[in-house]
Amino acid sequence: MAPLRLWLSILAGLLGAGAQEDLYRKVFVFRNDPSDAYVVLQLSPAQPLLNFTVCLRSYTDLTRPHSLFSYATKAQDNEILLFKPRPGEYRFYVGGKFVTFRVPESRGDWEHVCAGWESGTGVAEFWLDGKPWPRKGLQRGYAVGPEAAVLLGQEQDAFGGGFDLYNSFSGELADVYLWDTVLSPDRMRAAFQSLRLPPALLAWSNLSYSIKGDVVVKPRLRAALGF
C-alpha cells in the first residue's frame, strides 16, 4: 500500500492539489513566459470588504503588462487587481476602476508593494518598498463583494478564468497578504521588512493555495537582503 499512497501523492501534486503551509523564506516561481499557470488562494470573507490592504513581493524581468494579484467576483472581474502595465507603472483597481501610480523603473531587484483602500473616503494608498506614494481617490462608497476567486499570476476577465496569456506573470512572487483594514504607516513599513504583522484574511505565514500549471515552490535565493 505504501508505494500506492506515494504514487497518489505525486499525482495529486502534478494535478495542482491544495496545500496549506507557512511559506516563510519561500517563493512561487512562475517558470514560463507567457504562461497559462496560476495559483489559487483560498479565501472566504463572510462580509463585503469596505476597507482592505493587499501586499506582495515580486521579482521579474518582464517589460510587458502582467497581473500580480486578481480578486474577482461573479459580478465584477476586476474587484481588486494589482496590475503592472509597463516598467515604472502600477495600476490599482477596485470595482473595475483604477488609479495609476508611477514609480522608478526596477533595477533588477525585488519590489514590495502594498495597496490600501477605504470605502468611506475613497482614498487609495500605494506603498513601494516601504515608502508611500501620493494618495488618490477611488470608488468612494463602494463595497468589494465576497465569494471571490483570488489568483496570483493571471488577470481574470471572467470569474476564475478568461485569461490573456500576454498579461500573465513570469518570475517569483512572495509575501502575499490581504487584510480587511487599511494598515497604519508603521505596519505598512513592517510588511516591507517582514516583521510581525496582524492577523490577515490571507497570510503568507499560513497560506491555503492550489497550484495550476507550471509553478513551483522554492526557497528564496536572496534571503540575505534582510526580508
Q: What is the CATH number of the domain that holds 164?
A: 2.60.120.200
- Res 223: pLDDT: 53
Domain encompassing residue 51? 21-222
User: What are the pLDDT digits (tens) for 146-167?
Assistant: 999 999 999 999 999 999 999 9
In-domain check, residue 9: no
Number of structural domains found in the chain: 1
Q: Which neighbouring-strand residues pair with 17?
A: none
Asked if the structure places residue 12 within a domain, the reply is: no
Planar angle of CA 3, 5, 7, nearest 5 degrees: 70
Residue 50 lies in a domain: yes
3-state secondary structure of 77: coil
| pLDDT tens profile 175-198 | 999 999 999 999 999 999 999 999
Answer whether residue 16 is part of any domain. no
- Tell me, yes or no, if the pTM score tops 0.85: yes
Q: Please state, in angstroms and rounded to a whole number, the distance separating the CA atoms of residues 76 and 74.
A: 6
The DSSP H or E segment spanning 188 is helix 185-192
- Domain for residue 138, yes or no? yes
**Cα separation of 24 and 28, whole Å?**
11
- Residue 8 belongs to a domain: no
Q: Please check whether residue 51 lies inside any domain of the structure.
A: yes
